[in-house]
Structure formats: C-alpha cells, structure tokens
Amino acid sequence: VDLGWVVNHKRVERLMRELGLQGVHKPASVRTTVPAGAEHPHVPDLIGRDFSVGAPCTRWVGDITYIATGEGWLYLASVVDLGSRRFVGYSMADHMRTELVADALDMAIAAHGGAVEGTVMHTDRGSQYLSADFRAQVTAAGMRQSVGRTGQCWDNAAAESLWSSL
C-alpha cells in the first residue's frame, strides 16, 4: 500500500531536528521492585479472597502502584474500603519506603475520625506492609492486619483491580 512519498530517514531526522520534534518510543524495561531479603513475620490472611461488599469500614485493602513520569517514577499507595469500594486514603511519593503506605493509612484513619477499631487491613506481602513501623501503626489504631500469600496476586485482587480504573 502506497501511503505517500518515499523519503530517506536522514531527511526525516534533519527535518524533525530543525522543527524541534522528537519521536516517541517505548522506554526500556525498568525493574521497579526487588524481592525481600529477610524472612518476615507470619501475618494471617483474614480475607481469604472474599472481596464481597460488606459494611463500610470493616475491611480495607491496600496496594502500591508506580507511575512513570518525565522526571522518573512516582509511587501511589492507596487504601480502599471494600464496603463502599471507595478510596479512603492515599499517598504519593518518589520512594517506596514505609512512610508511603503509613501516610495513606493515616489519611484513611483520619477520614473515619479514628473510629477504625476491628477493621481488617489487608495487603500483599510487600516489605512496607510487613515493616515493624506499619504493623505497629495498624495495631495502635486497633485494626487487624491481614496479608495474602507470597506470589499470589489474586490474594489482593480487589486492590489490584482498582488501578485499572485510574
């Protein structure tokens, strides 16, 4: 199929350079996470893949996603209420340290006036969620921590599926 004029690629490069244009290309694959080195404490899976809608503020799920920008990666942590299917807390930063998920949980707790005792906080087995600081934060709020199994994305499917709606 003939779609136009035949020109040398060097001419296209020269014209684009003169006009200040740059081609768009797929960026190189970048590893965004690394496996944890140390064994983490055992935390039970209290959800058991039952993500059915229940009463609000009884079961929350948390997850982190990464967003490529022109200046590097940004990381977005969220807390979603399974009862209302709404984001109740979030945090964005240029790092994936524990503070990222702690800030998202702080926002969710504050949004409910601190009345979250007994709420299940379910996440994957990311090191941020299994850190001593995050576990202490969950316990101090009177919440119960729950994590899925290692390598089982379906154990946190409710949180993972919400990223597709962004």
Can you give the pLDDT at residue 136? 95
CATH number, domain of 157, equals: 3.30.420.10
Model pTM? 0.69
* pLDDT at position 31: 64
Domain range for 73 is 59-165
DSSP secondary structure string for all residues of 65-106: EEEEETTEEEEEEEEEETTTTEEEEEEEESS-SHHHHHHHHH
Residue 14's SS3 state is helix
Q: Which residues of the chain have pLDDT under 50?
A: 154
Number of domains in the chain: 1
Per residue in 70-80, pLDDT tens? 889 999 999 99
The pLDDT of residue 41 is 67
Residue 139 lies in a domain: yes
Q: Is 69 contained in some domain? A: yes
- For residues 139 and 118, the answer to whether their CB atoms sit within 8 Å is no
Residue 31 inside a domain? The answer is: no
| Residue 133 identity | D
In a domain, 68, yes or no: yes
